[in-house]
Amino acid sequence: MTDWFTVRWEDGAVVLLDQRKLPTEETYLRLTDVESLARAIEDLVVRGAPAIGCTAALGIALAADRSPAETPAALAADVESARERLARTRPTAVNLFWALERMGRHLDKGLANGSSAPQLRADLLQEARTLVEEDVGICRSLGLAGVSLVPDGSRILTHCNAGALATGGYGTALGVVRAAVEAGRQVSVLADETRPFLQGARLTAWELAKDGIPVSVITDNMAAHLMHQGEADLVIVGADRVAANGDVANKIGTYGLALLARAHDLPFYVAAPCSTIDLRTATGADIPIEERGRAEVAEFGARPVVPEGVPVRHPAFDITPASLVTAIVTEKGIARAPYGDSLAALLH
C-alpha cells in the first residue's frame, strides 16, 4: 500500500504527482485543460512510457469532459483536436500512441452505436480509468513473470526510472524487483543517476526507499567499474519502444549499459508491457528519438555547467540492438531471441 500515486482522475481533473520536484517535494498538480496536460507531459511532470500512455488516455477523457459540445459529432471533433495535441508531446514512447488509439477506437464504437454526447463522455472516462487500472495489473503480472530471472542475493543494476512513477503503479523493471522481494528474495539495487534529468537518483531511489528496498545511487560513469569489481549480477531496464526485431529504445545511456553487461558477461534484461512492443516498427532505426532542449544538459539543478554559447547535444533515448538483450519480460511471459518470432508469438 503506497501513500502516493503517479496519475489519477479526481473530480473533473487529471491529478499528477509533480516528478520534477522529487525527491524534495511531494506535490500534486490538478490539470483541468488539455493544453496544460500536454505541457505537463512535455515538461516531464509525468514521464515513463506507460505513465505517459495513462495520462494521455485521461487527457482524452478530460477533453470530452470539458467539451461544451451537444452533439456526438461536435464532441468527436473536440476529442480529435485533443488527440492531435497530445500526440505531439513526446515521440519515442509508443505507449502514448497506443493509448490514444485505444481511446479513439472506443469513441468510434460509441459513435457507431449511436451514443449521445453525455454517454460518450461517461464512456471515455470509464475507458481511461480502466486503462490506468489495467496498467497496474499488467505490471504485477510482468513482475511475477520476471521473478525467475532474479536469483536470491542479486545485485540489480537499473537505469532511469521504470518504476511505479513511470506506470499506473508497481513498475516494469522495478516491478520485477518488487515481485522478487515479495517472493522472499534478498535483492539490492544499484540505481544509475541517469544524467541529465536524474530519474535514477531522484525517482528510482525515492520510490525504492519508500518501499524499504535496498538501493544505492551511482553516477552513470561508475557502472563499468562496479561490474568489473563484481558488484552487479544483472541489469534490468524498462523500454519506451521495442521494435519488431527486438531492438529497444530506452533512456539515453541504456545502450552503453548493455555493452558493458555484454563485456562483463552479465545478463541484460528489458521489462516492458506488450503495449510497449511495436510490431509496426521494424527495427530500432525506425524509432524516432526525441531531442530535448539545452537546459537539462547545460544546467545541473538551476546551476549552469556549460559555458554560454557552447552547444550541447541532447538525444533523450538510445537504441540497444536486440543482439545485446538477454530476454524481454512482458506480462505474457518472457521473450528470447530470435525476437522477430518470440515477440510476434507473444502478441498474437
Instruction: List active site positions.
Output: 240
Binding flag, residue 281, ligand MRU (CB under 6 A): no
Binding flag, residue 168, ligand MRU (CB under 6 A): no
Residue 294 backbone phi and psi in degrees, to 5: -70, -40
Selected from 67, 89, 154, 172, the binder of ligand MRU by CB under 6 A is 172
Q: Which of residues 248-267 bind ligand MRU (CB under 6 A)?
A: 250-251
How many of the chain's residues bind ligand MRU (CB under 6 A)?
17
Residue 58 or 162: the one with the smaller Cβ distance to ligand MRU is 162
Q: How far is the CB of 239 from ligand MRU (least distance, A)?
A: 6
Residue 121 or 202: the one with the smaller Cβ distance to ligand MRU is 202
Q: How far is the CB of 185 from ligand MRU (least distance, A)?
A: 21
Binding flag, residue 275, ligand MRU (CB under 6 A): no
Residue 47 or 102: the one with the smaller Cβ distance to ligand MRU is 47
**Site stretch for ligand MRU (CB under 6 A), options 20-28, 113-121, 177-185, 237-245:** 237-245
Selected from 53, 196, 238, 284, the binder of ligand MRU by CB under 6 A is 238
Binding flag, residue 16, ligand MRU (CB under 6 A): no
Q: Which of residues 184-203 bind ligand MRU (CB under 6 A)?
A: 199
Q: How far is the CB of 92 from ligand MRU (least distance, A)?
A: 8
Distance between CA atoms of 271 and 105, rounded to whole angstroms?
27
Residue 160 or 327: the one with the smaller Cβ distance to ligand MRU is 160
Binding flag, residue 320, ligand MRU (CB under 6 A): no
C-alpha cell belonging to residue 90: 513526446
* Secondary structure in 3-state letters for the chain: CCCCCCEEEECCEEEEECCCCCCCCCCEEEECCHHHHHHHHHCCCCCCHHHHHHHHHHHHHHHHHHCCCCCHHHHHHHHHHHHHHHHCCCCCCHHHHHHHHHHHHHHHHHHHCCCCHHHHHHHHHHHHHHHHHHHHHHHHHHHHHHHHHCCCCCEEEECCCCCHHHCCCCCCHHHHHHHHHHCCCCCEEEEECCCCCCHHHHHHHHHHHHCCCCEEEECHHHHHHHHHCCCCCEEEECCCEEECCCCEEEECCHHHHHHHHHHCCCCEEEECCHHHEECCCCCHHHCCCCECCCHHHHEECCEECCCCCCCCCCECEEEECHHHCCEEEECCEEECCCHHHHHHHHHC
Residue 66 or 332: the one with the smaller Cβ distance to ligand MRU is 332
Reading phi first (left if > 0) and then psi (alpha if -120 to 50, else beta), residue 270 is in beta
Distance between CA atoms of 94 and 131, rounded to whole angstroms?
15
Selected from 135, 193, 207, 240, the binder of ligand MRU by CB under 6 A is 240
Q: How far apart are the first and last CA of the chain?
A: 34
Selected from 7, 13, 31, 47, the binder of ligand MRU by CB under 6 A is 47
**Site stretch for ligand MRU (CB under 6 A), options 27-35, 166-174, 260-268, 277-285:** 166-174
Binding flag, residue 330, ligand MRU (CB under 6 A): no
Selected from 34, 64, 239, 248, the binder of ligand MRU by CB under 6 A is 239
Selected from 93, 150, 242, 329, the binder of ligand MRU by CB under 6 A is 93
- Give contact residues for ligand MRU (rule: CB under 6 A): 47-50, 93, 160, 162, 166-167, 172, 199, 238-240, 250-251, 316
